Structures are given as C-alpha cells and as structure tokens.
Amino acid sequence: MVRSILAATLVLALSAGAALAQPAGRPQPGRPPAAQPQPPAPPPIFPCRTEAETCFLGIVIGSQLAVIYTNAENAAGLDAKPVDVLGADGAKADLAPHAGRVVMVAGTYDPKTGIKGEVVEVASPLVSLSIKAQLGAEGAGPPAQQPAPKRR
C-alpha cells in the first residue's frame, strides 16, 4: 500500500511538473503573453557639451581655427578659411600652444570679427591624428606620398 501511494505521488508530481513546464517563448494557453518592457531610447548625440550650447570644432592652424563643425546658425561659409578666436574680453586668443590639435570652442560667431568664446576642450594628439586622418580620407584625392628613397 505504501508503494502504491509513493508511486501515485511520483506520477502526480511528474505530470504536474510537465504541465507547468512550457517550452521557452511559447505562451501558456488561456493567458495572454506578458508585455515586455521596451528598452529605453538611446540618448541624443550632439557634439557640444549640451544641446543648447553653440560650439565650434576645428583644427588649430597657427593661432587661428579652421572650423570642421559648428551648430551656429549664422555660420555659412565659416569653413572656407581659418578664423580668429576672441576671448571674453575681445582680445585675440592665443591658440598657438594647441597648433595642429583639434579643439572645441564654445561661444558665438560674428562674420566680421570671428568666433568669440573660450576653448573648452583640446583633443589628445592621438584623437587629433585620428580626426585629421578621417578628414583627409574624405577629401578629394589620395593623401600626399613621400618620394621613394634613392638607390645606390
């Protein structure tokens, strides 16, 4: 008698476990599938520190900035030639220590005087090299090649 009770309990446990175990991804009959939460939307991407800020990304040439990107609305033709960067006091900013580097300047643009603002970020030499290499790859024509060494 004990064996029959034990066997019946075992059969009941196995059949109940099989009924509860559904293959993954299949909803149980009679139940609507549970709504899965949607992943959050990715954050917006903008090159400035904030969406409201007006910034200029450029390569320092001498003591001027050759702008490669800006979100300034009145910047038509700004990328044609390097422009001066003026500090908050109106004096020309000395960008010479950053020559050849990519910098970010936050401020405003006046077509007559140039960019009035401050340097807020200076890219490392490796990042500057990477950005300049990508710009060169997108430009017209292959990069300049060095002449072959002379043979003896």
What percent helix, strand, coil does the chain show, rounded to 5?
25, 25, 50
Q: With 50 as the cut, is the pLDDT of residue 122 above it?
A: yes
* Residue 120 φ then ψ, to 5°: -110, -15
Domains of the chain from N-terminus onward: 55-138 (2.40.50)
Q: For residue 99, what is the DSSP state? A: T
Higher local confidence (pLDDT), 41 or 14? 41
Q: Judge whether 105 and 62 are in contact, CB under 8 Å.
A: no
Residue 67 is predicted with a pLDDT of 94
Instruction: Quick: pLDDT tens for 42-99.
Output: 666 677 888 889 999 999 999 999 999 999 988 888 888 999 999 989 899 999 999 9
**Whole-number Å distance between alpha carbons of 32 and 93:** 66
Q: With 50 as the cut, is the pLDDT of residue 132 above it?
A: yes
Please state, rounded to an integer, the average pLDDT across all residues of the chain: 76
**Whole-number Å distance between alpha carbons of 105 and 10:** 75
